[in-house]
Amino acid sequence: MGTREEHREVTTSRSIPVGTVSERLQIKSKSKSLTNGHIKTMNKANGHVKSNTLTPTQTRAVVNGFISQGRVSGGKYLVTGTPQGVANLGFENTSDNQSPTRPRHLSYTDDLFESPLSKPRTRHNRGHLVASNGTLKFSKLTLARKHHPSSSSHGHGHGHATHSHRHHDAANNLVSYFDIELNHSHDYQYRPGEELAGNVVMDVSRNLEIRFLELMIIGLGNATITKSGKLSTQRESYIYKKTCVIGSNESKYTSVLTPGKYVSNFRFRLPKDIPTTTDYSEYRSGLRLDITYFLKARLCGDPSSTSIYSGMSGGNAKFKSLLSKRRPFNVLRPFDINMLPDGNNSISHTEEVVLSCGNNSTATIQMGLDRSVFMAGDNIRLQLSATIPSKRKILEITCSLQQHVTMKSSGHRATYSLIELHNKNPESTAVVTTEKHMSTSSYDVILSTNTAMLSSFLFGCHMVKVTYSVKTVLKFSSSGGKLSIAIPIAIGPCAEPIYSEKSAIKKAVPVFNRSLRFPCFTPTRNSSSYSLEQGSQSSRNIHVVSKYTSSSIGRCFTCCFTGIDGI
């Protein structure tokens, strides 16, 4: 019985931190295997590769495959990838509790690891997942050369390359499981600068020929506002990192995945300047802000001239996507109200307006808020006191929470009324005191916010600017006109579980200590002749404009502005 010879070439890689090794040594190994089990090896440098076969369970003694410079001890390793695909990746012998039937043993001789290390080089390219603050590790994958039988009985020729499988079946039938598994649960809130880690898992049921397996980490933002029927949109990118787990999108060679389970570990440290995950929509006003983060794994095949996914132009190939998986994750920036210089300061404002000619015709309005910064889910308590002539009455009071949005690039601005309260009979609910032909009415107004409100503190987001104001409109009797006062405030992100009953999400943790403050009012001015050109007294910088008329044709409107245009 004759002896049959086989030719195999193996390319492997050892575990190293990403971004620390710049020089790598590629050695092509050939092993001549006889049916009697006797193995002879010889080394040859700078060999060229045509195709690879990835197998999770195959036993073969290999000497000096694709390695990085530096001393590494021998042992049992499971590896994957082509020379082009693993050039920036490391591998280690971690286990996922899946024991292969015949684990592969790789042995290394010490003399090939004695060469001096080159100067480390750190990669900062945003287009690759090899940042200096992260290390990628992949395991449970085994690499061997694609075996082509020789036309010669002694194996002196390799013959023509053949494909074991050309995708006659759909990729879904060849891969029973394909997913991205994170180390934390799906509702975990990552902080900026925290490490993101997980696995890319595949269960291959039949031989599958691929060009590469790509992993991407993406963070995107999209803002849209509508004003007078005109749509304004702005987009920006926060993260865009990608790497090839198996193969390379620049290589001309393919790889064959044999049946088995493939688990690739990855690690990535998030940037420190990214914004919080946001999904805000106000359909009545047309405002939408979406900030999302996700991982995407893409298994791509060889481009074909007959495929609608393919096309070769100028050396660039559009690869056919066989399978893809998208896994979102959330980012939450910490927020501390105590770090704001005026966050806990109260706001007080006094406004005086002449309602008619003659003595005792001046109305004094006092307003107060216990804080200048509120959290989404807080109750905004407004204390209102109005001192007016006894012959006059307040017919109606309207209080509203106004949202002001500005697109930073285009300068488009829009104002939306989120909450609005009307009291058409305020005298029935007021506490009234009368003194010297003047009556004083006091009111408490509570505006209840919800936990889904858009924060004014969008750190890391450069698309929009969001501010808020509490607007109060008082309508007086006997052609007294209207008085409008708007006080600017800020709203921070929701702090739970203090207001957990207001939100469907129960996992957030409060990141600040809320202090209680009470409103204080400035003293009422005793001047009986307050001119229209005079301003208002306030603890905040507020610009006041006043107008008045006593006739029904030229009605009096006295408007108090806060410096926010369009109120």
Domains of the chain, start order: 5-152+172-331 (2.60.40.640), 345-511+518-560 (2.60.40.640)
pLDDT, tens digit, 9 for 90 and up, residues 296-324: 999 988 765 334 343 333 344 577 888 99
d(CA 505, CA 413): 31
233 to 230, 298, 408, 461: CA distances (angstroms): 10, 29, 11, 14
* Residue 331 pLDDT exceeds 90: yes
pLDDT confidence bin for 469, thresholds 50/70/90: very high
Q: What pLDDT score does 412 carry?
A: 84
pLDDT, tens digit, 9 for 90 and up, residues 414-448: 888 999 999 888 877 778 888 878 888 888 899 99
Quote the tokens at residue 410: 């285009």
* Residue 410 pLDDT exceeds 70: yes
* Residue 222 pLDDT exceeds 50: yes
Q: What pLDDT score does 304 carry?
A: 56
Q: What pLDDT score does 328 carry?
A: 96
* Residue 233 pLDDT exceeds 70: yes
Q: What pLDDT score does 426 carry?
A: 84
Q: What is the mean pLDDT of residues 104-129?
A: 33
Q: What pLDDT score does 246 carry?
A: 86
Buried b (16+ CB within 10 A) or exposed e, 441-477: bebebebebebbbbbbbbebbebbebbbbbbbbbbbe
pLDDT confidence bin for 63, thresholds 50/70/90: very low
Q: What pLDDT score does 80 carry?
A: 35
Angle at 565 between CA 559 and CA 567, to 5 degrees: 45
Among residues 334, 297, 332, 375, the alpha carbon closest in space to that of 187 is found at 332
Q: What pLDDT score does 321 carry?
A: 86
Q: What pLDDT score does 343 carry?
A: 77
* Residue 245 pLDDT exceeds 80: yes
User: Bigger pLDDT: 436 or 267?
Assistant: 267
Quote the tokens at residue 490: 């800020």
146 to 15, 54, 101, 257: CA distances (angstroms): 23, 8, 21, 10
Pick from 143-152, 201-210, 243-252, 282-291 the range whose average pLDDT is largest.
201-210
Q: What pLDDT score does 201 carry?
A: 93
Amino acid at 215: L
The mean predicted confidence, pLDDT, of the chain is: 64
Q: What is the mean pLDDT of residues 111-139?
A: 34
* Residue 120 pLDDT exceeds 80: no
User: Bigger pLDDT: 235 or 414?
Assistant: 235
* Residue 272 pLDDT exceeds 90: yes
Q: Are 203 and 261 in contact (CB under 8 A)?
A: yes
* Residue 449 pLDDT exceeds 50: yes
* Residue 76 pLDDT exceeds 70: no
pLDDT confidence bin for 231, thresholds 50/70/90: confident
* Residue 505 pLDDT exceeds 80: no
β partners of residue 287: 282
* Residue 254 pLDDT exceeds 60: yes
